[in-house]
Amino acid sequence: MFEAKKFIERSVGEIKSTIGKERAIIAVSGGVDSFVAATLASKAIPNQLHIVYVDNGLMRKNETEKVKEVAEKLGVNLNVIDGKDQFLDALKGIVDPEEKRKIIGREFINIFEEEAKKHNVKFLVQGTIAPDWIESGGMGRDTIKSHHNVGGLPENMDLKLCEPLRELYKHEVRELGKELGLPETVHQRQPFPGPGLGVRIVGEITSENIRIVQNACDIVETEIDNADMERPWQYFAAMLSSKTVGVRGDERSYQYTVIVRAVRSLDGMTANFSHIPFKVLEKISTRITNEIPEVGRVAYDITNKPPGTIEME
Ligand code: XMP
């Protein structure tokens, strides 16, 4: 049985003794893991913590504004860094999923290290949870995906790591969030991958593709949130790099395919596709093809994990 109160007490003590009198940096992404890690660290070392939010351009629609709002409500002093162009440039022409993940991880770390130098920081606090490092391989395990807060770390990194949630699973982190007083919109929020929409764009990441996936994800989230149905564990849209033929009006079209994905899961390690009512899927499909002119086909992913993974890459 996981006891949130006890965990918080122990973890705050551990963070204090790990970091000592040094300064630390943490990046919040808007998700429950990083907000919980940041809140624990602020309790432990309130005057030694530099909290950043990196807008890498691969976040959900209007995410930066939402994160700022939550931080304000929590009274957290957030430093927003605009890294949109830096990430897009680094990802130009890259199609291999592992390479994309590593580049995104590397750019994050470059930004952290720069900030760390500026603020004389010695530690990097991260919201890494158990499935992140289990799936990233090591200790005799196969690498399934290099989760960005694990695989992207260079060997010669200048910062020491502090990962207070390393042994926890998602549902336990949510309990912690509730206990720590985070808003429900944060502690009950569906998971979002570290590399962001980068793993939901199959093939090259361009600003056009990012906009397509942002809008498609927003439609999927809105329609499922508003539907009279059990909320899936995770639900979003992704896009394929290839186009298919269709008709728009009387004319032939040749447009992108969006994949709608919704799964039931406990911890993301295994998952089953959700049985979304067809009415909801139809509304999603109609809205996507009406509102996103570059998309001509919408498919629902009926793959479980294994053999699929939840994200496309
Ligand atoms: P997969 O696609 O591996 O995803 O079945 C399992 C869960 O993890 C999320 N995910 C990530 N989370 N960094 C993260 O912090 C990552 O690099 C990453 N990749 C996938 C995914 O959204 C799902 O909830």
Atom of ligand 1 nearest to the CA of 135: 3
Whole-number pLDDT of residue 75: 74
State percent of the chain over pLDDT 90. 74
Whole-number Å distance between alpha carbons of 293 and 252: 14
Whole-number Å distance between alpha carbons of 313 and 305: 13
Whole-number Å distance between alpha carbons of 264 and 22: 42
State percent of the chain over pLDDT 70. 93
Atom of ligand 1 nearest to the CA of 312: 2
Reported as type and span, the H/E element at residue 114 is: helix 97-118
Q: Which among 11-15, 113-117, 185-189 has the top mean pLDDT?
A: 11-15
Q: What are the tens digits of pLDDT across the range 174-223?
A: 999 999 989 998 998 998 998 999 999 999 999 999 999 999 999 999 99
Start-end of H helices in 137-206:
148-151, 170-179, 184-187
Whole-number pLDDT of residue 149: 57
Whole-number Å distance between alpha carbons of 296 and 4: 47
Q: Is the CB of 145 under 6 A from ligand 1?
A: yes
- Residue range 120-124: average pLDDT? 92
> Burial letters for 249-260: b for 16+ Cβ neighbours within 10 Å, e otherwise?
eeeebebbbbbb
Q: Is the CB of 313 under 6 A from ligand 1?
A: no
Whole-number pLDDT of residue 152: 46
More confident residue, 91 or 141: 91
> Burial letters for 280-291: b for 16+ Cβ neighbours within 10 Å, e otherwise?
bbebbbebbbee
| Mean of the per-residue pLDDT values of the chain | 92
Angle at 159 between CA 158 and CA 163, to 5 degrees: 150
Distance 248 CA to ligand 1 centre (A): 35
Fill in the DSSP letter of residue 79: E
Q: What are the tens digits of pLDDT across the range 144-168?
A: 666 655 444 455 667 899 999 999 9
Whole-number Å distance between alpha carbons of 112 and 23: 13
Whole-number pLDDT of residue 138: 61
Report phi then psi at 201, rounded to 5: -115, 105
Q: Does pLDDT of 293 surpass 90?
A: yes
- Residue range 135-139: average pLDDT? 65
Burial class (CB in 10 A: 0-12, 13-18, 19+), 235: buried
Q: Which of 99, 132, 200, 266 to mutate to test the pocket of ligand 1 (most atoms within 8 A of CB)?
A: 132
Q: What are the tens digits of pLDDT across the range 65-91?
A: 999 988 887 778 899 999 999 999 999
Q: Which of 145, 173, 202, 266 to mutate to test the pocket of ligand 1 (most atoms within 8 A of CB)?
A: 145
Distance 151 CA to ligand 1 centre (A): 12
More confident residue, 309 or 153: 309
Report phi then psi at 55, rounded to 5: -85, 100
Q: What are the tens digits of pLDDT across the range 86-101?
A: 999 999 999 999 999 9
Predicted TM-score (pTM) of the model is: 0.86
Q: Which of 108, 128, 147, 261 to mutate to test the pocket of ligand 1 (most atoms within 8 A of CB)?
A: 147
Reported as type and span, the H/E element at residue 255 is: strand 251-264
Q: What are the tens digits of pLDDT across the range 223-266?
A: 999 999 999 999 999 999 999 999 999 999 999 999 999 999 98
Whole-number pLDDT of residue 157: 63
